[in-house]
Amino acid sequence: MISPVRRKLALLPLLLLPLGAAACSSENAETDCTINACTVTFNRGVDARASILGVEAELVSVQGQNVTMRIAGQQITVPVGEGEQAEGFDISVQSVTKDNVVVKISNGGGG
């Protein structure tokens, strides 16, 4: 038999799950987040942004294989397949298509 305390502790992660999901929001983008990282798929040709990991991430432009984003107010340009750092986050561009841009944003040090 499971003790009442153990039962409550087992339910705690399930109860906190909606809070984690509410911590990120987006406009013209999809997010897939863990505790330390988010993969954001920005739609191209529209104002696309996401609020993730406590910061605002916005797709500014795409010029060939270079993606310009604004992360927590800092504008950076990242080539596809490469990474940069901004405001304590590691940002890598995973892919660019005519329809979207996929970016992984994680807390500095990986995720």
pLDDT at 10: 46
Q: CA 90 → CA 1, 7, 10, 22, 86, distances in Å?
A: 46, 38, 33, 22, 7
19 found inside a domain: no
- Residue 90: its pLDDT value, please? 95
4 lies in some domain: no
pLDDT of 21 > 50? The answer is no
Mean predicted lDDT score pLDDT of the chain: 81
Distances (CA, A) of 20 to 10, 14, 53, 85, 99: 17, 10, 10, 24, 28
Other CB atoms within a 10 A radius of the CB of residue 93 amount to 22
Query: What whole-number percentage of the chain has pLDDT above 90?
Result: 59
Q: In this predicted model, which residue has the larger pLDDT, 25 or 8? A: 25
The answer to the question of residue 1 being in a domain is no
pLDDT tens digits, residue range 51-105?
998 899 999 999 999 999 999 999 999 999 999 999 899 999 999 999 999 999 9
Q: Which domain holds residue 95?
A: 24-107
Question: For residue 49, is pLDDT > 50?
Answer: yes
- Is position 43 within any domain? yes
**Is residue 7 domain-resident?**
no
Look at the alpha carbons of 77, 54, 39, 85 in this order and tell me if their dihedral is positive or negative. positive
Asked if 87 and 30 count as a contact pair (C-beta separation under 8 A), the reply is: no
Residues 35-47 have a mean pLDDT of 93
Number of domains in the chain: 1
